[in-house]
Structure 1
Amino acid sequence: MPTEIHDAHQRWAISSITPWYARGLISLQENELLGSGPGTSFTGFAGMYQGSHKEPDSFFRADSLPFPSIVNEAGSSESFPHLRNDKDLWMHGCAFVELVILLSWTKVSGNRIKGIIEVWRRNGAGGLSVTEMPILPRPVPPPASELIEFTRGQLFGPAAIAGQNPDTVLSLDVSRLRMIAEEVITLRMGLTPA
């Protein structure tokens, strides 16, 4: 799968931080503490993943913490089993990680690209739950919500700043990712969104 669509989620993730701050959902101090980006290599995983290292496709992390709280991994449909293995490394090898977002892009007939998201999160019973959301083609009818929600407490974890409400809900908007993906597919790849 071409790299252009593989990287669309990086712009999506990074561009989400400014609206959180602009709407007063995170403070200036939290905005400055929050790191986001691709390519950082993480080590220090626990259990059967001890000795592993991993570079997520993108992540959110309070810069004072050793691990991210939210991880994005992207690939083609053929690599989806590997992405699920990556999810296991993040969720079972590191207690800091709260959400893993897997993005799968597939080239289908007619030079079209389709995409789905799996959102993996910790549930209250000590296990994991998953939610699947379509990116492309656009869902018809549109779902009631296309937000991947999490709390300020989940995002900042033990680096939370005193006096801030850990239950404040933040989100990543899948419809925004879809707009970015459509732009990338059309303008940079010369293909068609499914």
Structure 2
Amino acid sequence: MLRLLTLFLAATTFGNGAAVNDFNDHVDEAVGRHQPSVIRNKRSLHLEARIPYHEFQVASNGLFNRDLQVKLTVGAVTGLDDVTRRLRRCVRTTCLVDLRGLVVSYIAQTQGDDLVGTLKHIWVEVTVTSAEALFNMNDIRARQASLNSLVIGPISFSISYDNYLDLNSGRHNEFVDEVARYTGWELRKILRGSYLAALQETFADQ
């Protein structure tokens, strides 16, 4: 977050006030009205972007549990079509946008939260509570504006899961930490890949 703010504040004012306002309006029009339809036409992003399965283990930490084997499956990101919002005024052709509100869901197969090793299938839901990204475009006075780069800041999550999974506080923390780590890694890949391509297409069409 600090790096994003530093980059954002380091930029100098673009042109005059009218030009800055025009660019703010241009960004709002693009991400608010045009980006949703672009993303909804991308099968890799809508209705959901898929996340590969992931396996991990949470070690036993008591007499009444075993090593917990976890397999996250059916990972899906929803909300990419309508979550993007501009934050603050753009500086020159650099804008800070908010990606908060994305939801990632999984079906998790678990075994080992009890001594008998019961096999369970549970839901896991990850909500993005904080995520800001900085993008830069070429000079909008050019004949065709284009998006040059996207820098993604820290991502924070709120994680909940089916109470059928019975974890003590220590194992709960390890479980949600690994879910958050993996989700953040995969979400960044999507944002820097197919989402960025859709964002570039959105501005190229303006």
Q: Which has more radius of gyration?
A: 2
TM-score class normalised by the smaller sequence: 0.3 to 0.5
Q: When the two structures are superposed, what TM-score results if normalisation uses the length of structure 1?
A: 0.36
